[in-house]
Amino acid sequence: MTRLPASRLVLWAFGLLVMLFLLGPLLAIVPLSFSAGSFLTYPLPGLSLRWYADFLTSDFWMPALRNSLVIGLGASAIATVLGTAAAFGLWRTRFPGQTLVLGVLMTPLVMPSIIVAVALLLAFGPLGLTNSFAGMILAHAALGAPFVVTTVSTALAQFDPVLLRAASACGAGPGLAFRRVVLPRIAPGVAAGALFAFATSLDEVVVALFISGPAQRTLPRQMFSGLNDQISLTITAAATIMVALALLLLLALGWLRRGR
């Protein structure tokens, strides 16, 4: 049996410690969602699904989950369309200030969330988009669009522009050439961007605190409010459901990578 070098063993041990550090909070929260007790304590007094039942029958948690899914799907759809168009435009043409335009598109990735939230509140307020689903969807689309631009730009970097010229020579217009030639080849990048945009919307809480009303309360905002009002183990069930959704998104992303 071949023995691993000491340096590789140290590297594996360090990687394992980093994984435990990152996954530690999840490993602590998930078991608590199955606790038969009423407090955040270990060891568990017993196992129960009471907190999941409370989540599924609650007039607060289920509407919040539904709002998160509706807003996330709407935001990811808009972000995918706009991000794909922006990435294709930046890839297809060269113009002065292109780097500046790309930097502006990437701003939501580097700007602190509180600044983005205040800016959206000031911009959406006069337009009547605060306390509305339209405002939440547009805000989350703006946060997710940079991920779509990034993934689609990466996919376009591997696309041969000669194919577009060949399509044009065969009589295909720009729209038809994009749909029939470009889009099928960059589809994994587009889908990956859509997943990232959806995940960003699903996890976002700061913007929701600023521009959403009671009717648009999302699951992260409801969890935040639950921590402030009264700590219930129902919040651990909500957190576990969020973890499960994140794992599903990771599996979907892995499937897309294998399909490329």
Residue-wise pLDDT for 117-166, tens only, equals 898 989 888 888 888 899 999 999 999 999 999 999 888 888 877 777 77
Residue 254: pLDDT band (50, 70, 90) is: confident
Instruction: Answer yes or no: is pLDDT of 229 > 70.
Output: no
52: in domain: yes
33: in domain: no
11: in domain: no
The H-or-E segment that residue 163 falls in is: helix 162-169
Q: What is the pLDDT of residues 35-83, one digit of tens each?
A: 877 777 778 788 888 888 888 888 888 888 899 999 999 999 999 999 9
4: in domain: no
27: in domain: no
Contact 251, 157 (CB under 8 A): no
210: in domain: yes
Structural domain containing residue 224: 48-257
CATH code for the domain in which residue 120 is found: 1.10.3720.10
Instruction: Answer yes or no: is pLDDT of 232 > 50.
Output: yes
- Domain total in the chain: 1
Contact 231, 166 (CB under 8 A): no
Contact 105, 193 (CB under 8 A): no
Residue 1: pLDDT band (50, 70, 90) is: very low
Counting Cα atoms < 13 Å in the Cβ hemisphere of 40 gives: 13
3: in domain: no
Percent of residues, the chain, with pLDDT higher than 70:
94
Q: What is the rounded distance in angstroms from the CA atom of residue 35 to the CA atom of residue 174?
A: 58
Report, as an integer, the average pLDDT of 197-225. 87
pTM of the full structure: 0.84
